[in-house]
Structure 1
Amino acid sequence: MRYGLYARSVTVLLAAMLITLAVIVLILQRQDEMREEMLAHSRDSLHGLAFSRLRAHGEGQAEHLAASLVNPLYYFDLDAIGAAIAHVQRQPDVDYVIVYSAAGEVIHDGSRDIATYGQAMADAFAPDAVAADAVRVQSDERVFDVAAPVWIGEEKLGGVRIGYSLASVRADEHRATAALRDSLLEIGRRHLQWVALLLTALVLLGVAMSFIVQRALVRPIRQLAEAAREIEAGNFSAEVPASRRNDEVGDLMRGFRRMGESIVRHDRDIRRMAYTDSLTGLANRLAFREILDQRMIQSQGAARRLALLFTDIDDFKRVNDTLGHDAGDEVLMSFAERIRTTVEREGGDGALLARFGGDEFVVLVEAMEGDIREIASRLAGRLVEEVGRPIVIEQRQVFLGISIGVTLFPEDASGATMLMKNADIAMYQAKLAGKNCYRFYSRAMDQAVERRVRMEQDLRGAWERGELSLVYQPVFRMADNRLLGAEALLRWKHPTQGMVAPSIFIEVAEQSGLIETLGPAVLRAACIDATRWHRELGHDELFVAVNVSPRQLRAGNLARQVEDVLRETGMAPRRLHLELTETAVIGDELHISSLLARLRTSGVQVWLDDFGTGFSGLSHLRRVPIDGVKIDRSFVADVLRDPDDLALTTAIIAMAHSLGMTVVAEGVEQEGQFEVLRERGCDLAQGYWLGHPMSSQELARLIG
């Protein structure tokens, strides 16, 4: 049962009544407590008053009796003593009268034969009574004892004790307290009747208010809710009750009617905008997901099988960066048309194409008969071929590829979300395989992704935990074999896996964005070490080379970071060399050139790393302001065996020198390689034959 507005209002009223009832109960409870407190105070007052009167009476009677006993006690006239105490003993509430000597022995106890004569008084009050020099009052729960000494001049003859029974006093107190309690209970009953009447009136008021709320507020709102449910179900012509009420509810109902009419007018346009990609006219992510859910439900228990192809155009960002976003949109529309034509031709009946945004397209293929894997494979292959054909934009040929991930239902996943995730994983594996290809999803891919995610998690905070450290590979001048500098290299000693290869964790850091945190930290640490070498060893010309990732270049704040580090460490800018790969500058050469020009103006040198392995090779030497190039180790490795590598290396050295650039050879591992490169005029070299990567302290010893 739905907990609606009427139920809520009734709940509020019931809660208010319950709270009121609770308050009344508390008041009545407090009234009972007050009655008991009043009775206790009254009982205490009566008790105090009774004892006060009894004390006054007893003290007076004891003093009077003591005075009348002076002569009889002096002359030891027992008959006169008995006659004197008999009068007191006959009085109401007197329990005993005892005349005693100064030593505390009984002289007369009021009995005819004085049975206790000569005995010492042994009760609890006796010691204080015998020792008293004036009237002494003592009491317990049973008796009220008043003792008065008998004096003749300065001599104490003894004393007299009168014991009053407290039974009658307590009986009087109980009777008075009971009468008072009965009176208070009668008053409470009258109050309770009034409370019951008020509570009945409150209940009636709550019922009336509930009825009014139901008629005036809940009913019209319920009618609006029913109309809203109809509209939600797609019946936009649902009838909204008319209202002549001139209040807020009437305004709400009339406004709701106008809103429903407006929804009817715009529903068609909204549906088109919500389910269609505005650029290509294809289905968008929302429409694709709804259709995918429907197809998967229809496929359950049937022979129908589905294949999901997740496609991503390779290096499409280069188009936007070099030709602009308008040209990029034109390329997307052309590729979308190619993909649409291919899917219609190869995908069979029921094939669905959608654009998820950017350069991502998704294809859903179904098959009642035949091998769905073969169908998907044939379609993916044709897509790779079609997209791989060049396209002419602004009189320029654009070559792009496409990476495709393929996953099957129900083999690979039971739900739409997992199916799309698996296709994305397979697409990522296609990119890792070299792009412009397709890959089918497998369980092993999940494990690879999990390993990468775990490595990314472990890499976060690794610098702060001291797991990451820098080592330095010496760089020597080939002409005189003199140490001129060192390249800073990052190493990771994992607490459980040991040393992790830089090629693995650097790629993870680059893709996850962690490189934007690690890069500045490495730069600062390398400059601190280089400054210490200069300060402690006095080597003025020793430089340190630090690698810069493409992500750091694209961030746009590299120049400011370098300036801040140089200022903080006090290192001379000419002793810092920044190394960036050729692929890092592709796509936005104008921005990169401006950034590198600012760095070079400050005195920092810029080297192009892994030279010759990029997309356009030597062409970047004339467009990007750099100070030197590093010949990739793949050319150096075969320089003694492959004439082509030797010729290419020689050409790189000659052209770089013609442009005034320094040339560094990487990966020199044999003496023969070193000699050949020196003969060709190579300036600097590094490699295992010259020196392995070492710690800062080891390099300092090598320098010294």
Structure 2
Amino acid sequence: MQREMLAHSRGSMHALVHTRLAEQGRATVERVAESLVNPLYYFDLEAIGQVLATIRRQPDVSYVVVYTPTGDVLHDGSPDIMSFGQAMDDPFAAAALDARAAVVQSDDDVLDIAVPITLGGERLGGLRVGYSLRNVAADEQAANAILSRSLEEISERHLQGVALSLAALVLLGVVLSLLAQRTLVRPIRQLADHAREIEAGNFNVDVADSRRRDEIGDLVRAFRRMSESIRRHDRDVRRMAYTDALTGLANRLAFREVLDQRLIESGGAARALALLVADIDDFKRVNDTLGHDAGDEVLVQFSERIRETVERFGGGATLSRFGGDEFVILLEGDERAGQLRETAALLAGVLVEELARPIVVRGRPVHLGISLGITLFPDDAGDATALMKNGDIAMYQAKVAGKNCYRFYSRAMDQAVERRVRLEQDLRGAWDRGELSLAYQPVFDMRANRLVGAEVLLRWQHPGHGMVAPSVFIEVAEQSGLIETIGPLVLRTACRDAMRWREECGQRDGLFLAVNVSPRQLRGGDFAAEVEEILADTGHPAALLHLELTETAVIGDELRVSALLGRLRGRGVKVWLDDFGTGFSGLSHLRRVPIDGVKIDRSFIAEALRNPDDLALTTAIIAMAHSLGMTVVAEGVETEGQADLLRERGCDFAQGYWFGHPMPLEDLIALCR
């Protein structure tokens, strides 16, 4: 009986702990893999790192790896991604690569769970998470030791007692046998029954405490402590699986279960649901400028503001952080009352207003904001997957609308998003396919009426749609992050072209090159070092490079941008403020940001001959810039009358159709000869 009980208990505990850990781990890894589909598709290493960092914080996680379909490590959750590009060669790697569904493998030290990441049937890669089994093994050994000692003592002492009793009281043997059955065997069998229940997954088994002071009592109390320990461990595992480690909010897995349950409950009742998908605007800028620790602090403060706002609003809303800078809110309402849409709009408006207030991080105010997408059940969709997709689409439309606002989902958005996604996919690789090209618009000196430089403009000849408007594809490149790849290519190619046109025109030191810089380029990586490297590689003179940036590139982080531009100006590069006059705070930037000149927006020039107000503003801008020692360029000059008017008011340079349309490099060379 002793050996049977000990073997059964050991086997039950081992199978119980490992099975439960595998089930919880697989559920967690599958949900995390689902959240990595978009970041992996867009090769967004930062978003992948944010998701993996949440997993790595869990105490029992030994490693976490996102890998490519070929088995190379794409991200290991560390800030520097030390194993990037290395091939997975551990014993579990082969099965993980061949997996078409979740695969659970283990040895004495680690439980490895691998889940493939797919999109539309195409395998993008996979996610592996290793859980340490050392703590589990230690708990098992301790419990087994207690059981073994208790059973040995029971066997030795009670068998001796029974033998002596039988020898001394032969006449009472039958009575003593029945007494032994009651006092020894029945409690052990009860413990065996409890062990089988725990093995089956019932961790709420109530093991009654024993008042006995013998070894049986010790065994019962040891089993009771072991049962409570397993129950606590199960609660801890569930808490880790369903809670976001950084903010303490419900995570994607917990929210999805709540959403599924609410949909089931609302299916046969007159109830409606509203899903609000929220994303922090320009959060990447915080990580790039202040570091990821500061980014975590911002996320904690943002989540606290959202939680307080939702609680003040009332209504039993469910709040979750989905990872990265994305939060989701679920509202419930009476469909027949028809008020849920208004309620969701009111909450979204309050959140936009509340989160527009600056956050103080390490003594610095940080201005961000939030964009929200709202979708309704059953009006917009009937299942959780469709609701989540519609919420993402509506949130994206809020981003497109200018951020810091909310939008309701409409079916027309599906077509718009589909067109945008196709355009983004086509834009990826367009440079390598030769679809993107550079055009140059000449810039003339107004007084001498001679060519002094050219602005480089990007053109896209789409094989199916023809010429795509720059206002369309530049916005896509900016929002998708492709501009961080295309921008340096444009600058490097334009610098090489400029060296050629100066060589062939015999003007090595005269013609400047003007290049537009996007806000994302300024905020991503070390832009100044990138420019310096390109100038060194191409031999282009720094003094003949004019970088043009808009007011939006400066707003929100003037201190960092000023330092960056000051470094470039120290190398001789000129900095111009583009589309000047269109922003409300343009004048303030002239004081705080180091710039060499301004470009008057074409909207003023177009009406200068007919609208006295535009003429007065144009004249004032020219006079003000000259008083500050800055050069002035007028954009969009299309008639001789406009050119004469600007010349009379002392405008330095001008560009537009009157002087020349954007043209290929060969035409510009012919113009300057």
TM tier relative to shorter chain: 0.5 to 0.7
Distance in 2 between residues matched to 1:685 and 1:632, nearest whole Å = 11
Question: 1:554 corresponds to which residue?
Answer: 523
Distance in 2 between residues matched to 1:259 and 1:310, nearest whole Å = 43
Question: 1:362 corresponds to which residue?
Answer: 328
Question: 2:461 corresponds to which residue?
Answer: 493
Deviation at residue 269 of structure 1 after TM alignment: 6.1
Question: 1:307 corresponds to which residue?
Answer: 274
Distance in 1 between residues matched to 2:543 and 2:573, nearest whole Å = 5
CA pair 294-554 structure 1, distance change in 2 beyond 3 A: same
CA pair 694-260 structure 1, distance change in 2 beyond 3 A: farther
SS in 2 for 1:490: strand
2:638 is the alignment partner of 1:676? no
Question: 1:384 corresponds to which residue?
Answer: 349
Question: 1:65 corresponds to which residue?
Answer: none
Which residues of 2 match residues 338-417 of structure 1 at below 5 A? Answer: 339-341=309-311, 343-344=313-314, 348=315, 350-356=316-322, 360-370=326-336, 374-385=339-350, 387-388=352-353, 391=357, 402-417=370-385
Aligned to 2:607, which of 638, 642, 663? 638
Question: 1:479 corresponds to which residue?
Answer: 447
Which residues of 2 match residues 247-646 of structure 1 at below 5 A? Answer: 261-265=228-232, 275=242, 282-314=249-281, 328=298, 332=302, 335-336=305-306, 339-341=309-311, 343-344=313-314, 348=315, 350-356=316-322, 360-370=326-336, 374-385=339-350, 387-388=352-353, 391=357, 402-540=370-508, 541-614=510-583, 616-646=585-615
Deviation at residue 698 of structure 1 after TM alignment: 0.8
2:148 is the alignment partner of 1:244? yes
Give, as a single letter, the amino acid of the residue that structure 2 aligns with 1:335: R
Alignment check: 8 A CA contact 1:311 1:403 kept: yes
CA pair 377-319 structure 1, distance change in 2 beyond 3 A: farther
SS in 2 for 1:370: helix
Deviation at residue 424 of structure 1 after TM alignment: 1.3
CA pair 297-538 structure 1, distance change in 2 beyond 3 A: same
Distance in 2 between residues matched to 1:277 and 1:405, nearest whole Å = 22
Distance in 1 between residues matched to 2:307 and 2:418, nearest whole Å = 36
SS in 2 for 1:244: helix
Alignment check: 8 A CA contact 2:273 2:340 kept: no
2:670 is the alignment partner of 1:701? yes
Deviation at residue 538 of structure 1 after TM alignment: 0.1
Question: 2:622 corresponds to which residue?
Answer: 653
Give, as a single letter, the amino acid of the residue that structure 1 aligns with 2:11: I
CA pair 594-436 structure 1, distance change in 2 beyond 3 A: closer
Q: Is 599-608 or 259-268 further displaced after alignment? A: 259-268
Distance in 1 between residues matched to 2:16 and 2:290, nearest whole Å = 56
Alignment check: 8 A CA contact 1:406 1:427 kept: yes
Structure with greater Cα Rg: 1
Give, as a single letter, the amino acid of the residue that structure 2 aligns with 1:352: T
CA pair 437-534 structure 1, distance change in 2 beyond 3 A: closer
Give, as a single letter, the amino acid of the residue that structure 2 aligns with 1:569: T
Deviation at residue 381 of structure 1 after TM alignment: 3.3
Give, as a single letter, the amino acid of the residue that structure 2 aligns with 1:244: S
Unaligned runs of 5+ in 1: 1-213, 247-252
Aligned to 2:634, which of 640, 659, 665? 665
SS in 1 for 2:599: strand
Give, as a single letter, the amino acid of the residue that structure 2 aligns with 1:530: A
Deviation at residue 479 of structure 1 after TM alignment: 1.4
Q: Is 688-697 or 650-659 further displaced after alignment? A: 650-659
SS in 1 for 2:425: helix
CA pair 447-654 structure 1, distance change in 2 beyond 3 A: same
CA pair 316-455 structure 1, distance change in 2 beyond 3 A: closer
Deviation at residue 392 of structure 1 after TM alignment: 7.7
Deviation at residue 670 of structure 1 after TM alignment: 2.4
Give, as a single letter, the amino acid of the residue that structure 1 aligns with 2:15: A
Q: Is 673-682 or 215-224 further displaced after alignment? A: 215-224
Distance in 2 between residues matched to 1:230 and 1:396, nearest whole Å = 46
CA pair 472-230 structure 1, distance change in 2 beyond 3 A: closer
Distance in 1 between residues matched to 2:12 and 2:302, nearest whole Å = 50
Distance in 2 between residues matched to 1:230 and 1:335, nearest whole Å = 36
Distance in 1 between residues matched to 2:656 and 2:269, nearest whole Å = 63
CA pair 407-227 structure 1, distance change in 2 beyond 3 A: same
CA pair 465-329 structure 1, distance change in 2 beyond 3 A: closer
Q: Report the TM-score when normalising by structure 1.
A: 0.60
Distance in 2 between residues matched to 1:449 and 1:393, nearest whole Å = 32
Distance in 2 between residues matched to 1:370 and 1:472, nearest whole Å = 61
Deviation at residue 653 of structure 1 after TM alignment: 1.9
Alignment check: 8 A CA contact 1:388 1:402 kept: no
Deviation at residue 583 of structure 1 after TM alignment: 1.2
Give, as a single letter, the amino acid of the residue that structure 2 aligns with 1:375: L
Deviation at residue 614 of structure 1 after TM alignment: 3.9
Distance in 2 between residues matched to 1:695 and 1:568, nearest whole Å = 23
Distance in 1 between residues matched to 2:622 and 2:8, nearest whole Å = 88
Distance in 2 between residues matched to 1:244 and 1:597, nearest whole Å = 74
Distance in 2 between residues matched to 1:684 and 1:217, nearest whole Å = 92
SS in 2 for 1:660: coil
CA pair 386-507 structure 1, distance change in 2 beyond 3 A: closer
Alignment check: 8 A CA contact 1:388 1:400 kept: no
CA pair 433-229 structure 1, distance change in 2 beyond 3 A: same
Cα shift readout 1:555-614 (whole Å, capped 9, x = no counterpart)? 233333323322332222222211122211223323322222222222221212122334
Cα shift readout 1:317-353 (whole Å, capped 9, x = no counterpart)? 7889799769956863673255314531xxx4x4323
CA pair 616-276 structure 1, distance change in 2 beyond 3 A: farther
Aligned to 2:11, which of 221, 228, 238? 221
SS in 1 for 2:662: coil
Question: 2:69 corresponds to which residue?
Answer: none
Cα shift readout 1:600-649 (whole Å, capped 9, x = no counterpart)? 22222121212233462121122222211112222222223333333332
Deviation at residue 243 of structure 1 after TM alignment: 4.8
SS in 1 for 2:148: coil
CA pair 663-304 structure 1, distance change in 2 beyond 3 A: same
Give, as a single letter, the amino acid of the residue that structure 2 aligns with 1:700: I
CA pair 693-526 structure 1, distance change in 2 beyond 3 A: same
Give, as a single letter, the amino acid of the residue that structure 2 aligns with 1:523: L
Q: Which structure carries more relative contact order (alpha carbon 8 Å, separation 6+)? A: 2
Alignment check: 8 A CA contact 1:227 1:240 kept: no
CA pair 504-387 structure 1, distance change in 2 beyond 3 A: closer
Alignment check: 8 A CA contact 1:472 1:693 kept: yes
Q: Is 542-551 or 646-655 further displaced after alignment? A: 646-655
Cα shift readout 1:674-704 (whole Å, capped 9, x = no counterpart)? 2222222221111112211011111111111
CA pair 259-635 structure 1, distance change in 2 beyond 3 A: farther
**Aligned-pair RMSD on alpha carbons?**
4.1
Deviation at residue 489 of structure 1 after TM alignment: 0.5
